[in-house]
A = this chain, B = another copy of it.
Amino acid sequence: MRTNLLILFVSFAVVGNAAEPLPSWNDSESKSAIIGFVKRVTDEASRDFVPVSKRIATFDNDGCLWSEQPMYFQLIFAIDRIKALAPQHPEWKAQEPFASVLKGDIKGVMASGEHGLMELIAATHAGMTIEEFDKIVREWTSTARHLKTGRLYTEMVYQPMLELLDYLRANGFKTFIVSGGGIEFMRPWAEQTYGIPPEQVVGSSLKMNYEVRDGTPVIVKLAEVDLIDDKEGKPVGIQSHIGRRPIFAAGNSDGDFQMLEWTTSGEGPRFGLIIHHTDAEREWAYDRDSHVGRLDRGLNEAPDRGWHIVDMKRDWKTIYPSQ
């Protein structure tokens, strides 16, 4: 009896999985291409078969797994932190980029350039232990809400992409985030939100120091950049953390161009995916002229390179998970 139940359960699980992958995706070229690719690389009889250990898939985060408008969510986090810390820093009222942040003048913040951005990062992301930073990020992601949608930021993840991550993992893929965003900013919530554990998160990083403070060992985040995991930095981050070339990569902006180029120029079956933001109603519509998530070269070269473009408005039944 028990064994029959077991068999029933196993059969059900297999059929359940096979029945309809990617339910939030409309039937489209990208959906068929994804499913066709996964079938080929997992079929031992196929000449495109790829052993499990080499089934590496990398995903950009901002604009690929969650939204990134009207500005990168990590920048909103930094602004919220500056506001929270301002009472302890009266001098910020007269000091850029903090003065602009406190006045809500984003253009003023941007005008402070790279130096200003590093000042912001130093004040909000460094000079504390990784455990302190982890706690701050967890508090923010569990309380702060997006102005337009009223959702928690971690609820502004794309349901079709959650299904894609699950589908790939169910087929033996190891899924990684490879993002220009901060590695320690994503780790505290990536496992619960995406099913991606901390050791599979690659991102921009600050240098760190190990020290023993009054007998207690701590790792301190320093105000010094270690890796900018964007553009040419993405293949470098991939090599540093993963140590092999992915066979599947997904992105949405020209910051992902080199990751897709690196992924799809290897031998054997390869898959490149670009999420094109075309849905001004349910999400946002932007590409070549956007300051956030600019997508220009990718759109031009995708056809020749065999990369698949997802038209968000046309290809996705839903954008965010139901609440």
Do A261 and B53 touch across chains, with their CB atoms under 8 A apart? no
| Number of copies of this chain that the complex holds | 2
Segment at the interface with B among A12-20, A118-126, A238-246, A278-286: A238-246
Whole-angstrom CA separation of A160 from B209 in the bound complex: 34
- In the A-B complex, the 9 residue pairs with the smallest Cβ-Cβ separation, listed nearest first, are A198-B243, A210-B232, A210-B235, A3-B3, A199-B242, A187-B243, A208-B236, A219-B239, A217-B262
Do B217 and A261 touch across chains, with their CB atoms under 8 A apart? yes
Q: Does A130 sit at the interface, judged by CB under 8 A?
A: yes
Contacts of A184 in B (CB 8 A): 243
A interface residues with partner B (beta carbon < 8 Å): 3, 6-7, 53, 56, 130, 174, 183-184, 187, 191, 197-201, 205, 208-212, 216-217, 219, 226, 232-236, 239-244, 258, 261-262, 265
Contacts of A199 in B (CB 8 A): 56, 174, 199-200, 241-244
| From B174, B226, B235, contact of A219 by CB (8 A) | B235
Query: Can you give 6 contacting A-B residue pairs, CB < 8 Å?
Result: A174-B199, A199-B244, A208-B240, A209-B236, A210-B235, A211-B232
Whole-angstrom CA separation of A265 from B236 in the bound complex: 32
| From B174, B235, B242, contact of A217 by CB (8 A) | B235
Contacts of A243 in B (CB 8 A): 183-184, 187, 197-199, 201
Contacts of A262 in B (CB 8 A): 210, 217, 219
Given A53-B191, A199-B241, 19 more pairs with CB closer than 8 A: A3-B6, A3-B7, A174-B199, A184-B243, A187-B243, A197-B243, A198-B242, A198-B243, A199-B199, A208-B236, A208-B240, A209-B236, A210-B233, A210-B234, A211-B232, A217-B235, A217-B262, A217-B265, A219-B236
